[in-house]
Amino acid sequence: MRVLLVIPAYNEESNILNTITSIESFKKENSHHYSYTIDYVVINDGSTDKTQAIIEKNEINAVHLVMNLGIGGAVQTGYKYAEENEYDIAVQFDGDGQHDINSLDLVVQPIIKKEADFVIGSRFLPNQKADFQTTFMRRIGIRILSFLIYLSSGKKIYDVTSGYRACNKEIISYFSKKYPTSYPEPESTVHLLKKKFKIKEVAVNMMERSGGQSSIRSFTSVKYMFEVSIAIIVSGFMREGD
Residue 158 pLDDT more than 60? yes
209 falls in which pLDDT band (50, 70, 90)? Answer: low
48 within domain boundaries: yes
126 within domain boundaries: yes
Residue 182 pLDDT more than 50? yes
For residue 214, the model assigns a pLDDT of 52
242 within domain boundaries: no
For residue 28, the model assigns a pLDDT of 95
Contact residues for 136 (Cβ-Cβ < 8 A; gap 6+): none
15-24, 137-146, 167-176: which range is least confident on average?
137-146
Q: What is the mean pLDDT of residues 199-213?
A: 80
Q: Kindly report the average pLDDT of the chain as a whole number.
A: 91
31-40, 164-173, 222-231: which range is least confident on average?
222-231
148 within domain boundaries: yes
31 within domain boundaries: yes
Contact residues for 235 (Cβ-Cβ < 8 A; gap 6+): 152, 180, 187, 190, 191, 194
Instruction: Look at the chain and report how many structural domains it folds into.
Output: 1
CA distances from 109 to 20, 25, 70, 76, 168 (A): 22, 20, 29, 23, 11
Residue 51 pLDDT more than 90? yes
Residue 69 pLDDT more than 70? yes
**Residue 231's domain spans which residues?**
2-237
For residue 217, the model assigns a pLDDT of 47
Provide the percentage of residues in the chain whose pLDDT is more than 70.
91
The CATH number covering residue 132 comes to: 3.90.550.10
For residue 205, the model assigns a pLDDT of 93
171 within domain boundaries: yes
Report which of residues 126 and 54 the model is more confident about. 54
Report which of residues 177 and 242 the model is more confident about. 177
Rounded Cα–Cα distance for residues 57 and 227 (Å) = 40
**Three-state SS at 229:** helix
49 falls in which pLDDT band (50, 70, 90)? Answer: very high
Contact status, residue 204 vs residue 121, Cβ threshold 8 Å: yes
pTM, two decimal places: 0.89
Provide the percentage of residues in the chain whose pLDDT is more than 90.
74
For residue 132, the model assigns a pLDDT of 61
Rounded Cα–Cα distance for residues 134 and 149 (Å) = 20
For residue 94, the model assigns a pLDDT of 96
For residue 131, the model assigns a pLDDT of 63
102 within domain boundaries: yes
